[in-house]
Structure 1
Amino acid sequence: MATLLLVRHGRSTANTSGVLAGRLPGVALDERGLAQAAALPGRLDGVPLAAVVTSPLQRCRETLRPLLEARPGVPLHTEERISECDYGDWSGRKLAELADEPLMQVVQAHASAAAFPGGESMRAMQARAVDAVRDWNARVEAEHGEDAVYAMCSHGDIIKSIVADALGMHLDLFQRIHVDPCSVTVIRYTRLRPFLVRLGDTGDFAALAPKASADPNGAAEVGGGAGAP
């Protein structure tokens, strides 16, 4: 079956301001995010792309713009099912203040039971995203053959939930997965099982440098975080 390149959007203005953007409109890439997007074509140079699929949100479209300009013949498709998690009433709020919400503990440790007020559950988020991947795998393979490679630009929690599914990992453990802005995660799907080929590859190792603000309790960054400074 097809090989999927999961691209997380570049760093956004919401990432750097510590805001949980969700599906709010007008969230753009910041200066670093634009630079990350500009570097993406070079990082994927030599990788044949049968198609590119994107979340409808602005930050994903901006991330893909340089890649599509470098690959004018590659078709672009919009997929609602890989849009950001609907955080409902949490959308637009500071992550620092959300940390004190009782629900945040559930999001961290028991994600399969977490449902955002006025939004969706994390179970529903994963189900729609995985369904989208399976459908696009079948479509790309039917149109381009079983060795085809395609890219999908989405969001941190979406990508982590897809990786968890590929690894046969319960959703309650998905916060153990981390993907930086504009990282590329590669999953090769086969008839019997998926293979995780790359996880959160940014093309460098700057993200491994110690972070002064790292949470001593090891809390995951809901929404995906801003990546390396």
Structure 2
Amino acid sequence: MASRLLFLVRHGEQDRAEEGGDTGLSPRGRRQAELLAARLRGTPFAAVHHGPARRAVETAEVVAAALPGVPVHCSESVGDHLPHDTDPAGLPERYAEFLAGFPEPERIEGPRRTAEAVARFATAPAEGDVRELVITHNFLVGWLVRHALDAPERRWLGLNHHNCGLTVLRYSSGGPPNLIAHNDVAHLPPELRATGLPPDYRF
């Protein structure tokens, strides 16, 4: 029975102190990536995949340094994009406002790239057992979790992931996908978790 273990990681914390939109990791983000790398060291991955944004590239570089010999690939399909042109009707106002901020081209291109990622990663391999690591962004992790659970399409909204949190999905030729781990941050101390949330939300 063939199976794919898909390890999904949201990139480390972005450096907001830098100017410009495509910025790299903050010092906290680099430390998050280093601790993730230590946890994943020695895992027999077939490949590491990452999106083209600097924060994803830099996270992948740190992690890949702990995985010598594992090929690393950059792909637009696992980049930072809108996964689904979700109908805002019936959604909370803040979600509707959020969705309204996406321009028309991204409403077309984002779902297309997401479909490519699903076709590439969200299936069992033809044969054997495969482990792959995808370093991506919050939206795609949420979409792939929603997809694996066969949840309504709008449920990618509200699935929020820690920077360098670890989610694992298993795709098997013998049955439906399994959610093995979700947003696991056992490798991060409390002060490096829940990036972007108020201190009283951190745990």
Q: Offset at 1:213?
A: 7.2
Distance 1:58 1:47, change over 3 A: same
Uncovered stretches (5+) of structure 1, i.e. residues with no partner:
88-101, 215-227
* 1:1-229 pair list within 5 angstroms: 1-14=3-16, 24-25=21-22, 27-85=23-81, 104-106=94-96, 116-117=102-103, 119-121=105-107, 125-126=110-111, 128-136=113-121, 141-142=125-126, 145-191=127-173, 192-203=175-186, 204=188, 206=190, 207=193, 211=198, 228=202
- Identity, % of aligned positions: 28
TM-score by length of 1: 0.69
RMSD of aligned alpha carbons: 3.3
Q: Compared with structure 1, are the counterparts of its residues 107 and 161 closer, same or farther at alpha carbon in structure 2 (3 Å cutoff)?
A: farther
Relative to its length, the structure with more helix (as a share) is 1
So what's the TM-score if we normalise by structure 2? 0.76
Distance in 1 between residues matched to 2:70 and 2:81, nearest whole Å? 27
8 A contact 1:86–1:119 mirrored in 2: no
Over 3 Å counting, the alpha-carbon distance change for 1:57 and 1:103 in structure 2 is farther
Contact 1:54–1:82 at 8 Å: present in 2 too? yes
Q: Size of the alignment, in residue pairs?
A: 187
- Amino acid paired to 1:4: L
Aligned to 2:154, the other structure's residue is in SS state helix
1:97 corresponding residue in structure 2: none
Structure 1 residue 56: Cα displacement: 1.0
Q: Determine if contact 2:51/2:80 at 8 Å carries over to the other structure.
A: yes
